[in-house]
Amino acid sequence: MLIGVPKEIKNHEYRVGMTPASVKELVERGHKVMVETNAGNGIGFSDQHFIDAGANIAPNAEVVFSECDMIVKVKEPQASERAMLREDQILFTYLHLAPDAPQTQDLMKSKAVCIAYETVTSDKKTLPLLAPMSEVAGRMSIQAAMTSLEKSNSGCGMLLGGVPGVESAKVTILGAGVVGRNAAQMAAGLGAEVVILDKNIDALREVDTIYQGKVKTVYSTADSIEKHVTSSEVVIGSVLLPGASAPKLITKELVKKMKPGSVIVDVAIDQGGCSETSVATTHQEPTYIVDEVVHYCVANMPGGVARTSTFALNNATLPYIVALADKGYKEALLNDKHLLNGLNVFHGQITNASVAKSHGLNFVEPQTALLS
């Protein structure tokens, strides 16, 4: 199979779909890899690194999309990239389709085979291709919050962990999943007062066991969300409904009640955000103010630490790339129910129930679509 790796074109996105080591793995298995020129420059991988691994270098994205059987990316394809997809071509990347009607429609029109990293599952009921970036985003969320709290950035001028004799900031984390736990680890390690809310009691028990009381766990209700959000300097939005839009847990009215100069870091922005006041931003202009509350809503947060993120992502995606290349998409998907859960769009049909529901479209069981 000929696998293509285009250069990412989203604002300040320096990650790359495959590292030279991943390329070498595919080449040694008899496959061919084409990498767009300068695709890895932002994280220290030159064209020569990819050539040494066995890849061919393409002069532009048009060549990659026109010639390759499978496209491996990091972020969702932008409009210009979607226009280059063709029928039966495999697209393997993050998609986050629930809040993105234009992308959903374009992928349907392309009749490509669109597999989303974020909905691939595992026997442990986890999302193995989302987890690495969730770990990165969770840890980065606290870095972003610390910077946003600074007075020069319109924050309240508070040091997250305080100093002896001066109280620390309060951090409320909505969601005790991978993002939430990693955010809690960073915030607690810096000395902040940390509260984490979730409806999953088992997840809260796990947090309590890990942190032995250093992180307070609270069952999530409308009342508890209001109580802790309005008393915090930092709120981390880390809720996730796989494949679906994030629930709006922070209302506009609640934002008005928050402390002036407090910060919302909405990590759920890829799925539409968990605050009614959240609008996707970029690394170039990461924040904006609503009712004196700083909002950090960068839709590709891990792109800020692109080298770490690329390696972490490749560690998780490589086995699936190998399976798709070795077996072809039909056999690979039918032989692995968890990879099959990653199939979101197939030959113009929506094969993820949450995506279909979000856009009021017909849902087709992925196995049915593949066998029809």
d(CA 5, CA 354): 28
State how far Cα 118 lies from the chain centre: 7
Q: Are 159 and 234 in contact (CB under 8 A)?
A: no
Residue at 372: amino acid letter = S
Cα-based torsion angle of the residue sequence 256, 262, 265, 266 in order, rounded to the nearest 10 degrees: -10
Q: Is 218 helix (H, G, I), strand (E, B) or coil?
A: strand
Q: How many CB atoms lie within 10 A of CB 257?
A: 13
- 270 included as an active-site residue: yes
Q: How many CB atoms lie within 10 A of CB 2?
A: 14
How far is CA 1 from each of CA 231, 302, 324, rounded to the nearest angstrom? 55, 29, 9
Largest CA distance in the chain: 69
Q: Are 261 and 156 in contact (CB under 8 A)?
A: yes
| Active-site choice (266, 270, 295, 336) | 270
Q: Compute the 3-state secondary structure of the chain and give helix, strand, coil in percent, each to the nearest 5.
A: 40, 20, 40
Nearest Cα neighbor of 68 from 5, 128, 126, 118 is: 5
d(CA 70, CA 64): 9
- 202 included as an active-site residue: no
Catalytic residues: 96, 270
